[in-house]
Amino acid sequence: MYRNWWSFVSYAASAVSSAGQWLYTLTDATSAASDIARSIGGVFASWDPIGLSQLFSAARRIAGIGQTIGQAGEETVTATLNIPEAPWSRPVDEQVANPAWQARTSVTYINEIGEQVTEYFVVGIEQALPPTVGSLKSQVSTGIEQMLTGQQENGTPRRGQLVSVDNIELMSI
């Protein structure tokens, strides 16, 4: 269930209108999933409403933290954020021993051929979160910029110039 449907649920739970409102509800997602199961079949033929609602809830929490971080003041302490756990997180004892987070960021940058593009990057955070939302945004931005403009040590998959970090979805793993 999780393996096949996460991508769909993640999209449905995080889509927002131009006004910043969630575009789809769990009911919409359930209805669409039912259609997909009937029309496409294959690995999507099997699904269950309870599993889908759990996935939708997890995906909405991840999307929600992105909005929270986007709207939070620079001085907001990250420890006060209700950071969701990623469905793919590590076992609890491993999380306790070595805390880690993934920040799924939507980034706008100018690529090698001069186009302005918006793509996703994942930034890792280990042991401790930056203390405030402002420092989190600043460090994420610096990390991505360094990656885009850094020396081509054995090559880098992407190169370009950072324009903006548009969204940071933070989750514990």
Partner 1 sequence: MSTRSGDAAAFDAKGAHYLKPTKAGTTPGTVMFLSAVAERAPAQGADSAAGVVWEAVCHYRRHRRYAGEVVEQAGCGGAELAARLDAWASTAEAAWCYAYDTVSVLNATSLAEELTGLGWELSRQFGTSSRAMWVVLHKGKRTKTRTDRTGADGEPAQRITWSHTLTICDAQALNIIPGGDVAAVKADAHALAAPVLTLMDWWDREGLGRWSVTGAALGWTSYRASLKPKQVVIDHDPELIAYERKAVYGGRRDVAVVGTPGAPQYAEMDFEGAYPTIAAECPLPCAYGGEIDVTHLDPKHYHNPSVGIIAEVTVATGEARWPCRIEGKVFYPVGVFRTTLAGPDLAEAWDKGAIVEVHAAHWYRMSRHMGSWGAWVKDLIASGPDVLPDPVRRAAKHWSRAVIGKFAQRGWSTRPWVGPPCDGWTIEETPILGKAHRVVTVGLDGVYFLSEADQRGDHERPAVLAFVEAHVRTRLSRLISGPYGHAVVQWDTDGVIVSLPRLGALAVDQGFTRSQYGREVPDLDRLVDHWCNLSYPLVIRQKTVMDRIVLYGPQHVVADSLVKLAGVPRGAVLVRPGVYRADVRPRLGRTGPDDPAGIGPVRTAEFTINGPYAAGWVLEDGIVRPPETVLGDDGINRLVPWAETRWAIGGDVLGPLQALWAAGLYRPPPTPATRPPRVVVEADEHGDILEADPCFALP
Judged by CB, which is closer to partner 1: 19, or 153?
153
Per-residue mark of binding to partner 1, 26-65 (x: CB under 8 A) = ----------------------------------------
Contact between residue 165 and residue 70 where contact means Cβ atoms under 8 Å apart:
no
Does 66 sit near partner 1 (CB under 8 A)? no
| Residue reference for tokens 């040590």 | 153
Listed as own residue / partner, the contacts of 32-40 with beta carbons closer than 8 Å and 24 or more positions apart are 32/8, 33/5, 33/8, 36/8
End-to-end CA distance of the chain: 20
Identified binder of partner 1 from the candidate list 52, 83, 86, 133, rule CB under 8 A = 86
List phi, psi (to 5°) of 38: -75, -45
Residues that bind partner 1 (CB under 8 A): 2-4, 6-7, 10-11, 86-90, 102, 110-115, 117, 119-126, 130, 139-140, 143-144, 146-147, 149-161, 173
